[in-house]
Structures are given as structure tokens and as C-alpha cells.
Amino acid sequence: MTIPKFLYLSQYYCERARRRSGAWRYCLLLAMILWGASGAFAQAAAPTDFSKGSTSEKLTQLDQRVTAAQSSADNAWMLVSAALVLMMTGPGLALFYGGLVRRKNTLAIMMQSFALMALITVMWALVGYSLCFGGNGPVIGGFEHAFLRGVGADPNPDYSGTIPQTTFMVYQLMFAIITPALITGATAERMKFSGSALFMVLWFVFVYAPLAHMVWGKGGFLNASLGGRFPTLDFAGGTVVHISSGVSALVCALYLRKRTGYPQQPMPPHSLVLSFMGACLLWVGWFGFNAGSALASNGLASSAFVATHFAAASAALAWSAAEWLKNGRASALGAISGAVAGLVAITPAAGFVGPMPALVIGVCAGAFCYWMVTKVKAIFKYDDALDAFGVHGAGGTIGALLTGVFAQQAINPIFGAGKAVGGLDGHWAQVGDQLVGVLIAWGFALVGTIVLLKIVDMITGLRVSTEEEEAGLDITQHGEEAYNLEA
């Protein structure tokens, strides 16, 4: 059956159902929501009276209290981390990208991030969490947690034994939000809002969910901590978030082709002040992204926090140094771009490498991404408008590979006590496993994106007309102007 015929038939049957009885469909939806909600309420243990009972009873109660205290600390940190990661999308990424586009397209790029905050949240609640973290398949999860059934105050021991599964769920949601948002950087200034929204929803289901499950989900065959076949070390999402979005960004940029007038017409950022603020919010938010991926308030979180910060700093310096050598001056845009590149590269490595290797990873990322964005992009002439591929795709790739080099059991004995982790431990084969993970992420993103772009192009179309592009997306897609300074 062809897609147009399928769509026609679906529309026909929906019309029939609606005409026969509209109410039953809403009753069904309400029933599903209630069914899902009924599984969500788990009772926490009732407080015990410590003054009564035998010594062993008291010890049991004491043990429970200590566990509760640890959970309390972990949960507090994880809720804050979840908020920090959401902040990375809004306003972090929105401002960062917003400042880089021309004035007439400011609201459009911000709206894409914001819309994803809403869209992905709803999808996550309905099926997303379950697809990523349910089941135990090698490639994708299941539907056991659809409508968040079974997700409540009790921890899920497969993922995070000390925090409510609700916390884990909402923390992971923030990652699912920012990943598609990153792609919008490549299609900036020429993508339809309708096409973008539909594409992101499909991409989330068919590219992000499988990758997240393969690397982080129980049974996933790249999962390093749960015995995957090709354990890929990815602490906070170098492959799942950055490679997937970065490579998809490149495919989108090539599919949509260049912006009208690119590269002859000058298209400098309209407000680096906005980008600067966005970059700083990203840096701070990234502590939630990386250190929060420890899923507990412990020494590993501290280690990841430090590694994150150090990599951002050294990468900013590396990019600035490269610019100083090349142009005679270090620019603000270069410094903030460098910091972001460093943060991207340390993302897979944060909870596996020490502070000194973090500095090295940052320098490598700053220099490599600078080269990708200035030299390679000019050679191949693709219009990756805001360098989503140059920073996230490239930074994620080099970060994932360097993770295999610098990971140490002294930082995180992820394969078991005493077992070597990465190159610094002598286990150089890990770099090979990292490469497998990188290639699978690349492949999934490449193939998935091409297919989905074709589908969405047929349904809503992807690119605005030349006249709309000239007038600006704010006016044509959203009926607004970002700045009404004469008002």
C-alpha cells in the first residue's frame, strides 16, 4: 500500500468513527490515561517508631533510615539536575541559536526549541519513556511503561537504585527534549515549522528511542553497564545525543540545501549577546547533564562535574588560540563555540575520565571542531547554518573515541572491581568498542533521518518558499516580529 493511499484510508476510517460516535474516542483516551495513572502510585514505607523493639529491629529501622537519607540526597540532586538540563534547552539553546540567526528568524528558531519542550514531554509521557527504558530488547524497549504505568516513587533497580523512578524518568525526558532541538541549528532560517514539528516527533521515536535504548536501556546491545554485546562507554550521551543529532543535522542541511544567497550574501549573527548568554546557560546546565548522569549525589557526580567544567575551559582556550593564530584575534563567538565543543566532547567521557584527561579532551575538541567549522565546512560547502554537525556531530565523535582512550577504572570501575576500562588502564580494545558505538550511532542517524525527511517532505513539506525565506520565518511561520523597537 502506498503512503498516500494509507493516509487516505486512515482519514476515511477516522471520519467514519467520528461520525458514528465521537464520544467513545475521548472515553477511550481518558480510560487509557487513568489506567496508566493507576499503576503510578506506589506507597513509600511508613515511618517507624524507633524507641520500641529489639536491637535487630532497631538496626533494621536504622538501615532503612540511612537508605532513606541517601535517597533523599540523591533525589534532591537529580531533581536539580533535571531542571538544569531543561534549562539547557530553554533558554540556553534557544538563546544560543537565537543570537546566531538573522533578526527576521529569531523567534522561529526559539520556537522550535520551545515547541519540543512541549511536544517531546507529551510523547515521553505516553510512550517515550517506555520505548527507551522499558523491556529488555537489544535495540528497542517495550510498552510496559506506556502512559507511565508502573513509574512511581519506587526506584527502578536496573537504572538507579536510590531515586524514585519518577525522578529518573523526568531526568531522562530532558535529554530527549534537547537532542532534537540541536538539529534545528542545521536547518535554521529555511525550515517550515509544521515540517520541523512532524519530523522531530518521528525522529524521536525512530532514531532517538532506539539509540537511547541500545546505549542506556536494559538489554541494549551497546550498554556498557548492563552487559551489552559491544559495551560503548557513553556516560551522558555523546553517541545518543550529540552524534545522533549532529549527523542528522548534516543530513538535514544537505537535504534542505543551502539558504538562499548563501554563501555570497553576508549572514552574520544578529546578536552575539544572546548567544553569549545562551552559551553560559549551556555551560552551567551541562553540570546537570553530565554530573547528573551519575544518577546519585556521590563522588562520581563530583568527578563528572569537574571533568565537564575542565573540558569546557580548555576547549574554549584551544578554539581561541586557534583563532588568534589564524586571524590575529580571539573572538567572542569563537570562545563560546569552543566551550560548547568541549562540553560536547566530554559528555560521553565525563564519568569515566580524570580531570587531567578532561583538559586534554577539551583541547582536542576545541581544535578539531574549530577545524571542522572553518576549514571542512568551507571545503564541502554544506550550509550547516549554526554548525550543529561541526560542533555536536564532530565533537561527539571525537569525544566518544577519546573516552575509550582515557577511561580509567580508578574513576569508574564500570566493568567490575579491578577490571580495566579504557586505554589508560591498558584496555585499548575499548577504543574499538567505542568505534562500534560511534558507527552504529552514525548509521542509525544517517538512515533514519533520510527516510524520515522523505516521508515528512511528502506530508507537510520541509522547506519554506523563497519569498517566505526572504521575508523571514518569524513573520511567515509565526506571524510575529522578534523586535518591535518602534513600538
Minimum gap (Å) between residue 275 Cβ and another protein: 10
How far apart are the two ends of the chain, measured CA to CA in Å?
54
Angstrom CA distances, 404 to 97, 210, 295, stand at: 31, 22, 21
Q: Does 121 interact with another protein (rule: CB under 8 A)?
A: no
CA angle 447, 453, 457 (to 5 degrees): 155
Q: Does 268 interact with another protein (rule: CB under 8 A)?
A: yes
- CB of 189 closer than 8 Å to CB of 101: yes
Minimum gap (Å) between residue 312 Cβ and another protein: 18
Q: Does 273 interact with another protein (rule: CB under 8 A)?
A: no
Choose between 372 and 445: whose C-beta lies nearer to another protein.
372
Choose between 22 and 266: whose C-beta lies nearer to another protein.
266
Choose between 96 and 147: whose C-beta lies nearer to another protein.
96
Choose between 376 and 455: whose C-beta lies nearer to another protein.
376
The Cα 313–Cα 338 span in angstroms is 8
Q: Which stretch binds another protein (CB under 8 A): 155-163, 289-297, 370-378, 445-453?
A: 370-378
Looking at residues 166 to 225 of the shown chain, list those that interact with another protein (rule: CB under 8 A).
none
The Cα 422–Cα 40 span in angstroms is 40
Q: Does 479 interact with another protein (rule: CB under 8 A)?
A: no
213-237: burial string, b at 16+ Cβ within 10 Å, e else: bbbbbbbbbbbbbeebebbbbbbbb
Looking at residues 386 to 415 of the shown chain, list those that interact with another protein (rule: CB under 8 A).
387
Question: Binding residue for another protein (CB under 8 A) from 271, 337, 347, 449?
Answer: 337
Minimum gap (Å) between residue 374 Cβ and another protein: 3
Count of positions on this chain that bind another protein (CB under 8 A): 17
Question: Binding residue for another protein (CB under 8 A) from 149, 192, 377, 427?
Answer: 377
The letter for the amino acid at 341 is: A
Q: Which stretch binds another protein (CB under 8 A): 43-51, 76-84, 194-202, 369-377?
A: 369-377
Q: Is 29 exposed, middle or buried (0-12, 13-18, 19+ CB in 10 A)?
A: exposed
Helix axes 165-183, 55-87, angle to 10 degrees: 20
Q: Does 378 interact with another protein (rule: CB under 8 A)?
A: yes
The SS3 assignment for 381 reads coil
Question: Binding residue for another protein (CB under 8 A) from 269, 420, 446, 468?
Answer: 269
Question: Binding residue for another protein (CB under 8 A) from 47, 53, 227, 263?
Answer: 263
100-129: burial string, b at 16+ Cβ within 10 Å, e else: bbbebbbbbbbbbbbbbbebbbebbbbbbb
The SS3 assignment for 151 reads coil
Choose between 71 and 106: whose C-beta lies nearer to another protein.
106
Minimum gap (Å) between residue 31 Cβ and another protein: 53
Looking at residues 315 to 334 of the shown chain, list those that interact with another protein (rule: CB under 8 A).
323, 327, 329, 331, 333-334
Cα 449 → chain centroid:
16
Q: Which residues bind another protein (CB under 8 A)?
A: 263, 266, 268-269, 323, 327, 329, 331, 333-334, 337, 373-375, 377-378, 387
